[in-house]
Amino acid sequence: MLVSSLMDLGAPEKNVLDAMKAAATVLGRSEVKISVKEVKRGGFRCKLLSVKCKKEETHCQAEELLEQVKAAAESTLYTKKAREYAYEAVKLLVDVEAHLHTTDPKDLHLHETASVDTVIDTIGAALALEHLNLFEAEIYATPVAVGGGLIRFSHGITPAPAPAALHILTLKKIPFHGGPVEGELTTPTGAALLAALDPKPTHFYPQIKPLKVGLGAGLKEIDDVPNILRLILGESLFGAVGDVIAQLESNIDDASGEVISKASETLLKEGALDVAMIPAYTKKGRPAWIIQVLCNPDDAAKLSSILMVEAGTLGVRCLTVPRYVAKRRTETTTLKIDGVEHRVRVKVSETPEGTLIRAKPEYADLESISKKTGLPVRRLQEMVEGEKGR
């Protein structure tokens, strides 16, 4: 389903299928038939990838499977990132199976995971991702539907999802939900292919400009639910010059300035990008502070708790906001004073188009030179800015 949805998204079918067939040949399975066609699932048009091979007992040692995917990747994939992705996906499967069976990977004997489909699907996914240049993209994943009920595999009957799939999702902290129907909707291989992309979990789509949608069909027809994997390819609304941050805010009217100052110091120490303390008046004319914290979205929960503990607030507002960012770099310049050269670091900021915004000397460097020369920091700053302006 992942490979077919990637092809529907724009990965060239011929290249992907040729790579998968080449992988089958490397595995000594040239009789494998691989094809793709358009079908309908729940009334929606989508692509279905079919891999047909002679039914036989599937089992091998874990190290043998890793060698197979490594050989197939070397012979079919163009870039190092694609080869690493294919190997890491299968290695994740092997490591999880070894953990579940409390066995060293070197001694692990595989059954379903050893299927020829595992290597072929992995190579197809890697090549499709490679062609779409998605190894350079930010990948987001909404909660994975894992199905429900009981499934039968080589070790007997177990609830869905299969133990290996559940462990992979848990290991990589990928959210999932049961249903919406009985049956296995997420296989261990599918979970590994997703997890190897190191996706960012999200319950809602990020702010993007959608470019294309890819729909990949599952083999089964499911009543009332289209058995489809949907991928959305998009561009950031802010391009390469912006990002998204969390903005935390709280009104505090019963804490001293010392307490507010200590809270600010702690927030910055724990990862806040910036903290502002804004004087305000609240209900009944009470003087108060508005504490505003900017941080990475991943740190929002942690910093909200710190703000509650340090400042005593009972609630924190959390907003996710876009931010446009100037290009920044640090340069080094030299000031010559009384025949002695002094090095000064300068923080240079520019617009995305390259227009200079400002060049700010590092205060610590100016202070050190001031102590050595007796010149005031203000004068040294003017000298540096004059040099940068020439």
Instruction: Inform me whether the pLDDT recorded for 248 exceeds 80.
Output: yes
Contact indicator for 347, 332 with CB cutoff of 8 Å: no
> How far is it, in rounded angstroms, from Cα 154 to Cα 113?
10
Average pLDDT (113-142) is: 91
- At residue 84, the 3 state secondary structure works out as helix
Decide which of 56 and 353 is more confident.
353
Question: Which pLDDT value is given to residue 387?
Answer: 66
Question: Which pLDDT value is given to residue 241?
Answer: 59
| Confidence bin at 390 (pLDDT 50/70/90) | very low
Question: Which pLDDT value is given to residue 317?
Answer: 96
Question: Which pLDDT value is given to residue 205?
Answer: 85
Decide which of 221 and 267 is more confident.
267
Rounded to the nearest integer, the mean pLDDT of the chain is: 90
As given in the structure block, the two tokens for residue 292 are 């505003």
Question: Which pLDDT value is given to residue 165?
Answer: 95
Instruction: Inform me whether the pLDDT recorded for 308 exceeds 90.
Output: yes
Question: Which pLDDT value is given to residue 323?
Answer: 82
Of 130, 15, 12, 137, the closest CA to residue 79 belongs to: 130
Q: Where are the alpha helices (DSSP H) in 27-111?
A: 62-76, 80-100
Q: What is the DSSP letter of 30?
A: T
Of 164, 137, 104, the closest CA to residue 6 belongs to: 137
Instruction: Inform me whether the pLDDT recorded for 133 exceeds 60.
Output: yes
Contact indicator for 176, 187 with CB cutoff of 8 Å: no
Decide which of 387 and 350 is more confident.
350
10: region left, alpha or beta (phi > 0 left; psi from -120 to 50 alpha): left
Question: Which pLDDT value is given to residue 113?
Answer: 66
- What's CA 136's distance to the chain center, in Å? 11
| Per-residue model confidence as pLDDT tens digits over 326-374 | 888 899 998 889 889 999 999 989 887 788 888 899 999 999 999 999 9
Of 321, 330, 281, 272, the closest CA to residue 301 belongs to: 272
Instruction: Inform me whether the pLDDT recorded for 57 exceeds 60.
Output: no
Q: Where are the alpha helices (DSSP H) in 289-341?
A: 300-311
> How far is it, in rounded angstroms, from Cα 12 to Cα 35?
13
| Confidence bin at 242 (pLDDT 50/70/90) | low
Average pLDDT (19-34) is: 90
Contact indicator for 174, 202 with CB cutoff of 8 Å: no
| Confidence bin at 388 (pLDDT 50/70/90) | low
Burial of 216 (0-12, 13-18, 19+ CB in 10 A): buried
List the domains of the chain with CATH numbers. 2-236 (no CATH), 245-323 (3.30.70.1380), 327-389 (3.10.20.300)
Instruction: Inform me whether the pLDDT recorded for 58 exceeds 70.
Output: no
Give residues with Cβ within 8 angstroms of 346, minimum separation 6: 330, 331, 332, 333, 359, 360, 361, 362, 384, 388
- At residue 183, the 3 state secondary structure works out as strand
pTM to 2 decimal places? 0.71
Question: Which pLDDT value is given to residue 298?
Answer: 86
Instruction: Inform me whether the pLDDT recorded for 238 exceeds 70.
Output: no
Strands 33-41 and 44-52: antiparallel
| Confidence bin at 229 (pLDDT 50/70/90) | very high
The winner for highest mean pLDDT among 54-63, 111-120, 155-164 is: 155-164
